[in-house]
Structure 1
């Protein structure tokens, strides 16, 4: 039986790409399907969410996720990674070291945001660090010449922000929490505010005026929204 993306709450974006806004923290995850490979951008906030995403991906595409790109090392975007055994995991350079030594901090952050102790403990005990670290840009071939670009555009929202550019018409840019639509961008202890506007400039250079920009939280936006948010951040943090 064919299963539609909409049945599982996914929004189709074209170019073999779809995204879903997860419950509770409204974090976005995205799937990019090529002829041979399937890339998942972020993995959810718990191991249970990761398992659900794996099940949905296999039902929708008829095959397993082969690659994972982590937008940044915050609990609501990375704690489901262990559900994807065998997938190659990518993150901005420094993410692997941070996750390897920071499981307890992630657990504490998840608990502060209201996650149950059982979910937080199980997910952080199984925490997976990226094997592949992206310093600048990394081209990933998902089959038949369909290449997506992983771009280390940060720091900004965190010290390790990784975006993904999906070519096509329209171009799709997966932004992580560098862009937020459902509220003002959150600047936590690991944010680098003075570099954040420059990270958004880089996103706009990558995607161009006609791209779809997919924020870490909220609805899909356009270049004008990203530019306006960039300008507000520059004023907020006193940078040009």
Structure 2
């Protein structure tokens, strides 16, 4: 019996060396081994779910070949493969306000200009959505805890070209007390060109959160004469007996806000308007 066993490795057999892979590209000169046709790639396209390449020889004749084996480049056999895909551009990161996030940026030194809002809840909501943008621009948000003496506060601030104010007022609608206060405040010397008072139509900034973001179809209706925040919490079936309950209720509502899409357009537009007013092109960074 032969000493050669079935299944034993024949070490005398030549080893198959993998052919070099050549990505197809326009201008690549190939020789089809079977036909001897030589041409340069003029285009690559998909046909029937597979890549094919169109070659043109020196006489201008065109032939189409599937990618794969059976070609020579510079006299050597190769496997022609699909062109390498360009790496996908990294997805742009955006802030909660929808603006492009500037990676590696540091907070800018605070400007002299300020955003004033009526209360702490307004400030916290703006910080959650626009905080990254405001730090990049060096704008500080300050709660006023009421606007009854808005004219006096503006006068004390001393607005000027490099010391502007953007003021966001609750319930700023035609004929309201807030509208009259805003009109009087704009008569303060220096305010006309350096102060912008805008507002949203809601009794409280809570309502600027879209009801759907809180799992509601609409905000509860609060009976006239009842404290608005307490009434909202009662309508939601949440604790509302004291200030601690109101604070906890607001925390739950704020937790429902993840981006600008959770807020009503009537607030979004006003905040963006204020930020633009405080950051004009080529502005000067005044002292804080």
How high is the TM-score relative to the length of structure 1? 0.26
> Which of the two has greater strand per residue?
1
How high is the TM-score relative to the length of structure 2? 0.23
Higher relative contact order, chain-length normalized (CA < 8 Å, sep 6+): 1
> Which of the two has greater helix per residue?
1
- Greater Rg over alpha carbons, structure: 2
